[in-house]
Structure formats: structure tokens, C-alpha cells
Structure 1
Amino acid sequence: MCNARPERAAAPLPLRVEVPALPARGGAGLVRRLFAPLGWTVTADPVPLDTAFPEWGDSRYVRLVLESDRLTLAEALRHLYVLLPVLDDAKHYWVSADEVDKLLRAGEGWLAGHPEQQLITSRYLSRRWSLTRQARERLELVRLAEADDSEVEDIDNAVAEETEAEEKPTPLAEQRRAAILAALHASGAARVLDLGCGQGQLVRALLKDTRFTEIVGVDVSVRALAIAERRLRLDRMGERQAARVRLVQGSLAYTDNRLKGYDAAVLSEVIEHLDLPRLPALEYAVFGHARPRTVVVTTPNVEYNVRWESLPAGHARHGDHRFEWTREEFRAWAATVAGRHGYDVGFVPVGPDDPEVGPPTQMALFHRDDTEKEAKAA
């Protein structure tokens, strides 16, 4: 602040802010939706990946110019403090509860009524559900107080009873594991393969159910298996429990005799991590060589991606996804695999089944019935 003219700090100024290369997950459209409601004239031009090769398209960066003669410098700095990391969508430090206070201080006077408040709070708080909910509850108190000229403390008790009754939504990963367990129960499987087991979340769920007498987790990543071993506490497990579970390093692109003879195999959120040309190798290794009686496959439904408000159009849910299929594409692949290897296949939605775009996760249940063959052989 200038000591000679302290009144200027509280007065609107002709301001121009220019950022030559701003990471903007959501593109120029999101930049405008964030800044324009705050009184800025926004120019957001996508930065090409390489000007010499325009066919490569645009990068995730924009050249940003903000102009306004209606804002104070303090207001402008608070907007930038919140919205630049929101656009970057990648905080590079641990987000704890004090980040809610920082957000509300910087968002005072503008965030409670911002049309993109939900996206801003979610991204700023790194999508931590509990912190996002806390921030939005406090912002709602502010909005209500402003609407009827009350103090926040005057209406706090009236809102608390309603918000405490809200239930935390069940994460999609938990819904997926529950659907897989239900499918395995229905199949009568006792000896189960978790193919692409990662860090062992499904293996842990299987271990809690005594109906599964043998559980084998398979993954190509030695590091993931080491993490799974620590999380499962295999070194502290009792002898009987430890006898039910094994972790095995192996690639699903190759046949492996260790995987033959099991009742069921699960491929949960695995196939989309393979390049499409490698899918036939996985198909043969699982359905043609290992040949468990039941195979459960889950994968994202790309049609549902439009319902994720924080996911830019055209982006996959995870940076390592090589593809994400529509319901029609997944069903066509599954039907072809089933026909080629002698399985029947059915489909089950996982998560809320949207009437327009379907569920967030799609599940295929493969089953082969060898009863008649076994009877003839006998």
C-alpha cells in the first residue's frame, strides 16, 4: 500500500493480468466460466503443442489475459490465489483442514455466490470429500446470511441439523468391490484369482469372506505387490489365514500354468490399461489357457464421463487408460470373447444407472458350464 495515497487500496483500479502459459485442465471455456462472473474481461487462447505442427492440436495450457476497471487489487489477488490452482488441478503439497480456512478467506465476498462454486471447492481441496463438504456447508451459511442480512452464527443451528443427517456417498470403488463379491458369491466360487490386483484392495475384501478358501493376487508390478503385502500384513497373519492367500508376479499378456484350475478370475479395471493390440493376448491367456469357470470383468463406461463435472471433455478418467469403451463397444468385445472360448456372458451396471448414459462402471459376467462335458467324460 502506498503511504501517500492509502485510499487507493480500497478503490477499483484499471487492472491487466497476463499469464503467457497457464495450465488449464478444462480448457479455455472453463477459464472464462471461472473469471467472467467476477467482473473480468477474459481472453483465453489455447497454446498449441507445436506451432510448426498444427495438426498435433492444442496443449493443456492457455495464454490468459484478464482486464478489469471495477476491481481492487486485493480482490484481484484473491481471485488469482484461488482460481490458478483450481485450473492447474494439482496441488503439490498435502491438503489438510486448514486449507478450508484459506479458501474461505480468499473467497470472501465472491465464492459463496459463484456459479462454479462446487467445482472450485472440490478442485482447490484436491477432491477430499470431507473438506469439500465442510467448505460448502460454511459457504451456504454465508450465502443464507447475506440473503436475509443475518449473522452466520444466527442461522448456524438451523442448518446443522440438516447437514448432519446427510450420508456420505459410497465411493465408486467400494460399490465396484461389492458388486464383484456379489457376482462371485452367486457363482459359488471358492478359489479366486484377482488378475491385476494392484495394491491388494480386492484381495483384502476377499480375505474377509470365509467362503473364499484360496485367493491369488497377480500383478506385473513388483512394487504394487510389495505394497499389497504390507497392506495385507502378510508377515503378521495367522497360519490358517496366510494359507488362503498368495501374491504372484506375472504378466497377463502371457500364458501361465500357475493360473489354471481356479473357479473364478476377476479383471477389475484392468483391460483399459492395455494397448488395444495387446488385448487378444490377455484374452487367450485368461479365457483360452487359464479357463476359470467364471470371469468377472469391470471397466469404465466412457458415456458416463459427461456426468463427472471436473473431467474435461475428451479426457480419460486416468492418465494411464489406453481406451475407455461405450456400453456398445464393451458388449461387442465381451460377446466376441465369450463366443470364441465357449462362455456365456451377461452384463451388470455398477453405480447409479443413468437413464441416458448408463452406469459409471460396466461389468461383464462370463460363465462356462462344463456339467454336460464332465458327465459325458465320466
Structure 2
Amino acid sequence: LPARGGAELVRKLFGPLGWSRVDAVAVPLDEQFPEWGDSRYVRLLLEGELRLADALRQLYVLLPVLDDAKHYWVSPDEVDKLLRAGEGWLADHPEQKLITSRYLARRWGLTRQAMERLELVRLAESDDLDVESIDNAVDETADTEERPVPLAEQRRTAILAALSGAGASRVLDLGCGQGQLVQALMKDVRFTEIVGVDVSMRALTIASRRLKLDRMGERQAARVTLQQGSLTYTDKRLKGYDAAVLSEVIEHLDLPRLPALEYAVFGSARPRTVLVTTPNVEYNVRWETLPAGHVRHGDHRFEWTRAEFRDWAGEVARRHGYTVEFVPVGPDDPEVGPPTQMAVFTMTAADETQKEAKAA
């Protein structure tokens, strides 16, 4: 079989999976000319007593991982396929990151989504809990009548309420990802212009599919725009909007890059209202299956306490002519606060007058 990474990688992948014997031998390019070296193929012999279905699921995932050349378009449903085939072994595999990345053709957005879900599975299984008890990395369209409302849905509800309260009709979703918030905004006719911005073209492609832009009517299509852009650079296309939303975005940036984002949003684009949501690290102790000292997702560069978030937001508001209020999202624990904290920035009257004068 083809094995990009050779016999050593084959042993790393199959060795932890319960086989009593894993023999992987590199196949030379030509046995008559050993100086030519090895080919990218190995001869693999597996021996052991495994349930047949388990062995087949391992092969279903690991053979294309070793081949490392997906021969078809990798869509988001591949994440579900990977998790189904990896049930019972992938969450604890020492090479989980490599397996996930290669299986999903190194599509970072899908890889991150799969690894977050695998981590939640691992943590939940360790305490025999439902994955949904940790956070919102589950199917958010599932029936919620008998379960708590997912945190992601509570965030969107809070954001929509704050936008409505601010009287916003033209809205920027900065760091829109796969378009969940844009989709929610499209359902409310009060929002007449919606712009989703993300640095990832793959995320924007997924968002476009989620929104069915290619099948949307002309009137609806005129309300929404998806565009690529980095939030740490000024962009004249983002000026003149009523509101901007940064939902679960800032924690994905390295701290030294936050001032650049601050200026691009508050100093250059200057919408009248800015909403920022971010995890409250103090609440992490309430996730019983989240190990102490761990952030909620592997890609988070930091998670702030309520005091740290308030200090940052207060300084941003002071420097750029905004006032700021704080809104809890999710259950507001009397000791550790809510799971998500939201800052609502509103441009001061003097700055808004100055902005309107410049526009005129």
C-alpha cells in the first residue's frame, strides 16, 4: 500500500490500536538496483484478534491517511464520516492530529472542527457525560426541547437582541467563519445589509453553501455579501456600517496582534456599535470534564477573566470614543459569572456627530 511517511509512520498509526503484530517493510524501487532507494510503498502485515468491524473502520481511515492524496473534494460531511469511523479509537490516538489533518486533506477549518469534537468526545467519555454538556460543538439543529439550549445559540440570540436594541440595520460579521450568524441575521428583515468577513476562503465557501447563495432570490442576495479580509488590517470596505460583531474571534489572535485589530475596527472602520463576545475563563471550572488549566478549544491563544476583559474593553472604549456595557451570555453563575461575556460598545454622541460631519 502507498505510505507517505514510510514504514515508521505505518507502525505509529497501527501500533497503538491493539494489533499483536505490525510488520511494515519498505518496498524498494527496484530490487536489482538497491542504490535507487525505497519507493513510497510498504508491505504491511497485521495480526491480532480484533472485532472485524473495528479493524475495517481503522483501515477505512488509515489507508487514505497513509496515501495522503484525497482523490475527491473534501466537504464538511467528511468530518462526520471520520468521527463515525474513528469511534472508540481516534479520540485517544497519539497521532490524532496527523490522522485528522491528512484525512481531511489538510483543510484547517475542518481539521480544527474535527479535533474539537474529538476532544469533547474524549473528555465526555472519561466521565460518562454527554458531549453537549461541555459546549456547543455538536449539531445545533438538534431538538433542544429536552436539552439545554446550546451556548452558540444563546450567543446568537444575545447578539441579535443587542443589534436590535442599537437600531442597527447594516451589520458587519467580522470573523464570520462558516456563516452561522450571517444565516441568523438573514432571517430578520430588520437587517437590510449584512457583510460577512473572514480570512479563510474555505470558511467563506462553506458559508456560501450554508446560505445557498447560488439559489437565493435576487432581493435576498442583495442583502448579503461575503468577502475575504484580515481583521488586523484596515479595510476601507468596512467603513460606514451601523454595527460590527466580533463573536468568539479575539481569543484566536495572539495577544500582540490585538492592537492591530483594535485599530482596524474601532479606529478605522468605526461602526456606531461594536459587539465583542469571548469565553469567560473563570467559568471553565463548571465544565466538569474540562481539565484544569485547559482552554476550551485548542486554537484559543488566551481566555480572559471578567476583570481582564473589562480592563481591555474599557481601554479600547476610552481610546476610540466609545462607551461600553457588559452583558452575560448563558447562565450567570453567582461565583464565576457566565460562560460567555459580551461587551457592547457604543460610539459617544460627540464622536458620532464628528463622524457624520466627516461623511457629509
For residue 247 of structure 1, the aligned residue among 210, 217, 226 is 226
Q: Quote how far apart the aligned CAs of 1:323 are.
A: 0.2
Deviations 1:167-191 (A, max 9, x none): 2210000000000000000000000
The structure with more radius of gyration = 1
C-alpha distance 338-122 of structure 1, shift in aligned 2 (>3 A) = same
Residues 105-144 of structure 1 aligned to structure 2 (within 5 Å):
119-122=127-130
Secondary structure, in 3 states, of the residue corresponding to 2:176?
coil
**8 Å Cα contact 2:136-2:152 kept in structure 1:** no
Counterpart of 1:205 (choices 184, 191, 204) is: 184
Native 8 Å contact 2:233 2:261 kept in 1: yes
Alpha-carbon distance in structure 1 between the residues aligned to 2:171 and 2:336: 32
The answer to whether the Cα contact below 8 Å between 2:134 and 2:287 also exists between their aligned partners in 1 is no
Answering whether residue 352 of structure 2 is matched by residue 360 of structure 1, we say no
Q: Whole-Å Cα distance in 2 between the matches of residues 130 and 267 of structure 1?
A: 21
Amino acid at match of 2:130: S
Match of 1:288 in 2: 267
Pairwise mapping of residues 191-202 of structure 1 onto structure 2 (< 5 A)?
191-202=170-181
TM-score normalized by the length of structure 1: 0.59
Q: Is the 8 A contact 2:136 2:151 kept in 1?
A: no
CA distance 1:166–1:270, shift in 2 (3 Å): closer
Cα-Cα RMSD: 3.6
Equivalent AA in structure 1 for residue 347 of structure 2: R
Q: Describe the shift of the 1:276–1:232 C-alpha distance in structure 2 as closer, same or farther (beyond 3 A).
A: same
Q: Summarize deviations over 1:256-276 as a string: whole Å, max 9, x none.
A: 000000000000000000000
Task: State the shift of 1:126 in Å.
Answer: 11
Residue 94 (structure 1) aligned to one of 73, 83, 86: 83
**Pick from 306, 316, 319: which aligns with 1:340?**
319
Find the counterpart in structure 2 of residue 297 from structure 1: 276
Residue 212 of structure 2: which of 233, 244, 248 is its match?
233
Q: Which segments of 5 or more consecutive residues in structure 1 lack a partner in the other structure?
A: 1-20, 23-76, 82-90, 100-115, 132-164
| Other-structure match for 1:145 | none
1:312 aligns with 2:291: yes
Paired residues in the alignment total 244
Q: CA deviation at 1:121?
A: 4.5
Aligned-pair CA distance for 1:95: 4.1
Provide Cα deviations, 1:137-187, integer angstroms capped at 9, x if missing partner. xxxxxxxxxxxxxxxxxxxxxxxxxxxx97221000000000000000000
Counterpart of 2:128 in 1: which secondary structure?
helix
Structure 2 partner of 1:261: 240
Identity of counterpart residues, as a percentage?
A: 72
Q: For the Cα contact (< 8 Å) 2:170–2:242, is it kept in 1? A: yes
The residue type paired with residue 273 of structure 2 is T
Given that residues 177 and 202 in structure 1 are in contact (C-alpha distance below 8 angstroms), is that contact kept between their aligned partners in structure 2?
yes
User: Structure 1 327/373 Cα, relative in aligned 2: closer, same or farther at 3 Å?
Assistant: closer
Change (3 A) 1:328 1:240: same
User: 2:134·2:290 contact (CA, 8 Å) conserved in 1?
Assistant: no
Matching residue's letter, 1:255: T
1:247 counterpart SS class = strand
CA distance in 1, matches of 2:322, 2:136: 41
Q: Distance in 2 between matches of 1:308 and 1:217?
A: 31
Cα deviation, 1:91-149, whole Å, max 9, x if unaligned, reads 994349x99xxxxxxxxxxxxxxxx98822436x9999999xxxxxxxxxxxxxxxxxx
Question: Which 5+ residue runs of structure 2 have no aligned equivalent?
Answer: 1-14, 17-49, 55-79, 89-123
